[in-house]
Amino acid sequence: MPGDSAKTIVITGASSGIGKASARLFHENGWNVVATMRRPEAETDLQPSERMKLVALDVQDPESPPRAVAEAVAAFGQIDVWLNNAGYGAFGPLEAGTREQIIRQFEVNVFGLIACVQAVAPHFRARRSGTVINVSSIGGIMTVPAFSVYNATKFAIEGLSEGLWYELGTFGIRVRLIEPGAIKTEFGGRSADVWDISRLPDYAGFMEKVRASRTKYTQNSSPPELVAEVIYAAAIDPSDRLRYLAGPDARRYVPLRRLLGAPAMMRMVRRMFTR
């Protein structure tokens, strides 16, 4: 079997951004990589090889994660790390989101991740080993304007992962949370869902200020390769550590929130983004 002595990682959302950067980094470090995405036939950058498999996985399809687990085990014998990276950001005030848009945000970012954990957990329990890595965000610790529903999904992942740290830890399975700040990915482009506020003109001034402040804030975003490096460090860390910040803004603002407290930090964010 190919890559017998190498460890194996399965990555969701590997067609771009953090997922693709992670696939490359782990592969360069001798790992077997199962790079999953909705349309692997359209992938042109990651090339299938003895240690790189492209596999179809749509986190909104309940039958897809178990199939990906089976394909990974068939290819490499076992899975050592499962990286839950697939996700996107809904941008706009809560009132602007349709029921379908709000449900989809939770289906992808929360319920899709849960389906993946449920699919791989039996494999890890049987081996009494394995690592689940969930990509959260500093948006799961602190909120920013016009991302209320996205923030809600990441707050959910924070609580879910902390709970899994207890549950899966009972079987020797490690759980990691990666908390990036602003990253240069397609999060704000192809991977975003910008909500229409045309029927809510009262929000026009608010959104104009938020967009301008967000553009300024993200000018110095970190590259996805930086997050991939943090993910790799978390994957090989033998400790039971749960949380890993990624990016200079994450390392700056999260400790600042803890130091100042939530009310003071919220006032600071309001000044930054809406005034």
Candidate list 64, 137, 150, 203, residue with the active-site label: 150
191 catalytic residue (yes or no): no
**Widest Cα–Cα separation across the chain:** 61
* pLDDT tens figures, 98-126: 999 999 999 999 999 999 999 999 999 99
| Beta-strand relationship, 131-135 and 174-180 | parallel
Candidate list 53, 154, 213, 244, residue with the active-site label: 154
pLDDT for res 3:
44
136 catalytic residue (yes or no): yes
**Total-model pTM:** 0.94
- Whether the predicted pLDDT of 189 surpasses 60: no
* pLDDT tens figures, 133-187: 999 999 999 999 999 999 999 999 999 999 999 999 999 999 999 999 999 865 5
Q: What does residue 83 show for φ and ψ, rounded to 5 degrees? A: -105, 110
221 catalytic residue (yes or no): no
Domains of the chain: 8-274 (3.40.50.720)
* Least confident stretch, 92-101, 159-168, 218-227: 218-227
* pLDDT tens figures, 16-61: 999 999 999 999 999 999 999 999 999 999 999 999 999 999 999 9
**pLDDT-above-70 percentage for the chain:** 96
CB hemisphere CA count around 273 (13 angstroms): 18
End-to-end CA distance of the chain: 60
> Residue 50: which of 13, 90, 11, 2 has the closest Cα?
2
DSSP H or E run through 226: helix 224-236
Candidate list 15, 16, 64, 136, residue with the active-site label: 136
In three-state secondary structure terms, 64 is helix
